[in-house]
Each structure stands twice: as structure tokens, then as C-alpha cells.
Amino acid sequence: MSPKTGSVHKYFAIAGLAIATAALGCGRAAAEDTIKIGLVMPMTGAVGAAGQEVAAAVRLYMAQHGDTVAGKKIEILLRDDGSVPDVAKRLAQELAVNDHVAILGAGTTPSAMSMAPIATEAKIPTVVMISGTSVVTERSPYYVRTCFTLGQQSGIIADWAIKNGSHKAVSVLSDWAPGAEAGKAFEQHFTQGGGQLLDTLKVPLQNPDFAPFLQRARDLQPDTLFVFVPAGQAGTFARQFAERGLDKSGIKLVGPGDIVDDNDLAATGDALLGVVTAGFYSAAHPSKLNQDYVAAYAKATGGKRANFISVGGYDGMHLIYAALEKTGGNTDPDKLLAAMKGMSWESPRGPISIDPETRDIIQNVYIRKVEKRNGEPYAVEFETFEHVKDPLHQAAK
Ligand code: PHB
């Protein structure tokens, strides 16, 4: 080795050490004063609307509750995974290794699945804010969910349909994990109740065209259509549903709350009037807390209606703030997890808690009918199922 190369090597070795030391020092200083929360959300791509809604709710929560907890400053590092799971994994890794985040927020099912090994290996408490697939919380002992599961809603609406005269149903499902779970819960309850499922039609997640599937469903002559489309697609679905005349066909449309997403509902006119869903959130939920939330969300977003996705983010921030209060700002992952388990509070959606066994959300599920309020369609609640747990976790026990 020439003297020149040797000194170059030495230079890099020292520079590397200096960077490592600086990074360590930085990490330590940050650990003392600032708590970093890394949010990996779909801000663009197939479910880009959902990430935008979570981010708006997180910002709103912090505007209302301040950016310090237990004497520590809260810093949000928001990253866009573009609705691509591999990107979510890389971003989570960078947030863990380079940014030393104490807490992560996870978004949709595929992304939350791919991030789970990082949360486990780096021991980072991760709040699942969008994913509605049961298995997600089993993928890491550091996962805690503040949103919902599709099973929670889809079994209940199947029971309601049977009780209200449905005999023959067709399912139309967005073709990915949450759709499969919605369909499974609906089918189990519907057939157990004596109903017949004529067919299950799967619609691609990306740029969906519902028209051919709706035509096919209609041709099968069901009395009931069970539909799951994810956040951001309810508007397109409603338009195509009405264009095919299905709103006047006498076929009963039912589903989980996603098909009457408040963010889209205002623009659907009369297309979804009378549609009954089982959901956990409606902008029309009559509590004072919710009416204040809806007003504040609209003010903060230039007039958007708060929806079921936004509350997953809002409550996710509440869970993080309340857990940090409880630990006195200590970010030890096991202490934070212990603080989160069993936590209960009043959300804009109603009373909710974190199941200490499964780390999954327990919440009320409401049966709602789309009706006009002040000239605009809303999902108006008329029956409540209290403290509903995820049925698939219950079944596995
Ligand atoms: C999910 O990622 O599991 C998900 C996303 C949007 C929905 C429902 C489920 O509306």
C-alpha cells in the first residue's frame, strides 16, 4: 500500500468515526429533548387520499394539543411510501437507523406488513393508523392499532341484512387483503344466517372500473349487494353504481363504512341515499366531541369533511401523547407498549380502547343509513353495537 493510499484510508476511517460519533451525540441529545415520530403514509399512489387524511388529522391534533408532551418536544417525520410496500420498508428502516425515531406510524395493510420486521428488530412501538386487516397486529409485538378492522364491520352488516330480509347476495370486493377479509366476514355471517352468496367479484385496486363488475352482479339477480372499496374510491363507485341504474334497481346495497366515506359522500348527490352500512365513524355522529372535531377538521383543511380514515390518525396521536404522559416522557419501547395496552378514551367516533391482549382497537360499530342532513348526504346512525373486538382475533383464541 502506498503512503498516499494509506493516508486516504486513514482519513476516511477518522472521518467515518467522526460521523459515527456525531450521529451518536446527536441521537443522545435528541433523546433528551425531542421525541421523533416517523409516519410512513401513502401520501400518493393507489390510496394516496388516505395518507393525506391521516396527515391532516395528525397536524390538527398537534395544533389542538401542542407539540410538547411530558416536557419533551414532539417532532413528526412524515414520509410518503407512494402506496408501495417495499418503499415503506426502506423508509421505516431509514427512520429507525438514521433518524432514531422513538415511535412509528404505519398506514395501509401491505405497507404495515412490510414494515413489521423493522418495528420488531429495532423495538419501535408502531401505531397502525389505516390498515384494516386483522393479521397486521400479529406481525409485530410492537404494533398497536387505532383504526379498524374490516371484520369488525362486515359480519355485523351481514347479520343486519339477514334480519332485514336479504336471502341472495353478491360480493364486490377491492382485490387486496382488506377486501378479502371483508368478504370472508360477510360470507361467514351471511351463510350462517341462512343466506346464499351467489358470487364474489374482485375489482382491481388500481384505477378501478366498477362498471363491468356491477353489470355482472346485476345479471346474477341478487337481492343484496355487499361492496368493499377502499378510502378514496367511494365517489367513483357511487357514480358508476348510479350510471348503471343500480340505485333504482331494488337491490339493497350494504357494506362496511368505506363505501360511504364522508370525504366522498358529500359529492355523491342522491346516488347512495338509503344505503345501510356498518361503520365505526360518521361525520354525523352526534357527540359534541365529534361535532367539534368535524368543524375543526373542516377549518384546517379548507372545508373537507372528516372521515373514518382521519380518526385513525387523530386517535393514533392521542394514544402516543397519552402513553408518553403515562411514562413521563420515557420512550423505552416496552414501557410505552405497556402504557398503550388497555388505554381507553373518548374519540370523535365514540368510546374506544386498546385490547391489552391483541393490541387491537375495541370500538362501537354503528348501523347507519345515508340520509340528507342540511341538504347533504350523511351516514346517520340508528343502532349501536358496543365495544366490538376484531372477530378474527376472537375466533383464533
Ligand atoms: C387497508 O390498508 O387495510 C385499508 C385501506 C383503506 C381502507 C380499508 C383498509 O378503506
Please determine, for residue 196, whether its predicted confidence score (pLDDT) is greater than 50: yes
Please determine, for residue 13, whether its predicted confidence score (pLDDT) is greater than 50: no
258 Cβ closer than 6 Å to some ligand 1 atom: yes
Dihedral sign, CA of 32, 70, 144, 281? Answer: negative
Of the candidates 238, 319, 317, which has an alpha carbon nearest to the alpha carbon of residue 272?
A: 238
Other beta carbons within 10 angstroms of residue 46's beta carbon come to 22
Task: Using pLDDT thresholds of 50, 70 and 90, give the confidence band for residue 21.
Answer: very low
Site to substitute for ligand 1 among 150, 174, 280, 308, most atoms within 8 A of C-beta = 150
Between β-strands 168-174 and 68-69, what pairing exists: parallel, antiparallel or unpaired? unpaired
Contacts of 117 (CB under 8 A, 6+ apart): 140
Tell me the pLDDT tens digit for each residue of 137-169.
999 999 999 999 999 999 999 999 999 999 999
110 Cβ closer than 6 Å to some ligand 1 atom: no
232 Cβ closer than 6 Å to some ligand 1 atom: no
User: Given the C-alpha cell 394516496, which residue does it identify?
Assistant: 48
Closest-lying ligand 1 atom to the alpha carbon of residue 111: 2
Question: Residue 12: what pLDDT?
Answer: 36
Please determine, for residue 395, whether its predicted confidence score (pLDDT) is greater than 90: no
Of 12-21, 110-119, 364-373, which range is least confident?
12-21
Distance 133 CA to ligand 1 centre (A): 8
Tell me the pLDDT tens digit for each residue of 313-367.
999 999 999 999 999 999 999 999 999 999 999 999 999 999 999 999 999 999 9
Tell me the pLDDT tens digit for each residue of 278-287.
999 999 999 9
Q: Which amino acid residue places its CA nearest to atom 8 of ligand 1?
A: 230
Please determine, for residue 35, whether its predicted confidence score (pLDDT) is greater than 90: yes
Question: Residue 246: what pLDDT?
Answer: 93
The three three-digit cell numbers of residue 144, written as one number: 398497536
Dihedral (Cα; 181, 184, 188, 190), 10-degree rounding: 100
The three three-digit cell numbers of residue 324, written as one number: 408518553
Tell me the pLDDT tens digit for each residue of 64-93.
999 999 999 999 999 999 999 999 999 999
Average pLDDT over residues 7-13: 36
Please determine, for residue 122, whether its predicted confidence score (pLDDT) is greater than 70: yes
Q: What percent of the chain has pLDDT over 90?
A: 90
Question: Residue 32: what pLDDT?
Answer: 63
β-partners of residue 197 are 169
Distance 147 CA to ligand 1 centre (A): 9
Distance 164 CA to ligand 1 centre (A): 27
Please determine, for residue 378, whether its predicted confidence score (pLDDT) is greater than 90: yes
Site to substitute for ligand 1 among 40, 128, 130, most atoms within 8 A of C-beta = 130
178 Cβ closer than 6 Å to some ligand 1 atom: yes
Average pLDDT over residues 168-190: 98
Please determine, for residue 31, whether its predicted confidence score (pLDDT) is greater than 80: no
Question: Residue 44: what pLDDT?
Answer: 96
231 Cβ closer than 6 Å to some ligand 1 atom: yes
Closest-lying ligand 1 atom to the alpha carbon of residue 50: 6
Q: Which amino acid residue places its CA nearest to atom 10 of ligand 1?
A: 230
Average pLDDT, the chain: 92
Question: Residue 1: what pLDDT?
Answer: 33
Q: What percent of the chain has pLDDT over 70?
A: 92
Distance 8 CA to ligand 1 centre (A): 52
- Over the chain, what HEC string results? CCHHHHHHHHHHHHHHHHHHHHHHHHHHHHHHHEEEEEEEECCCCCCHHHHHHHHHHHHHHHHHHCCEECCEEEEEEEEECCCCHHHHHHHHHHHHHCCCCCEEEECCHHHHHHHHHHHHHCCCCEEECCCCCHHHHHCCCCEEECCCCHHHHHHHHHHHHHHCCCCEEEEEEECCHHHHHHHHHHHHHHHHCCCEEEEEEEECCCCCCCHHHHHHHHHCCCCEEEEECCCCCHHHHHHHHHHCCHHHCCCEEEEEHHHHCHHHHHHHCCCCCCCEEEECCCCCCCCHHHHHHHHHHHHHCCCCCCCHHHHHHHHHHHHHHHHHHHHCCCCCHHHHHHHHCCCEEEECCEEEEECCCCCCEEEEEEEEEEEEECCEEEEEEEEEEEEECCHHHHHHC
CA 195 vs. chain centroid, Å, equals 30
50 Cβ closer than 6 Å to some ligand 1 atom: yes
Closest-lying ligand 1 atom to the alpha carbon of residue 110: 2
Question: Residue 19: what pLDDT?
Answer: 40
Distance CA 363, CA 25 (A): 43
Please determine, for residue 179, whether its predicted confidence score (pLDDT) is greater than 60: yes
154 Cβ closer than 6 Å to some ligand 1 atom: no
User: Given the C-alpha cell 386517535, which residue does it identify?
Assistant: 315
Distance 71 CA to ligand 1 centre (A): 35
132 Cβ closer than 6 Å to some ligand 1 atom: yes
Tell me the pLDDT tens digit for each residue of 243-269.
999 999 999 999 999 999 999 999 999
Distance CA 133, CA 127 (A): 14
Q: Which amino acid residue places its CA nearest to atom 4 of ligand 1?
A: 131
Question: Residue 2: what pLDDT?
Answer: 37
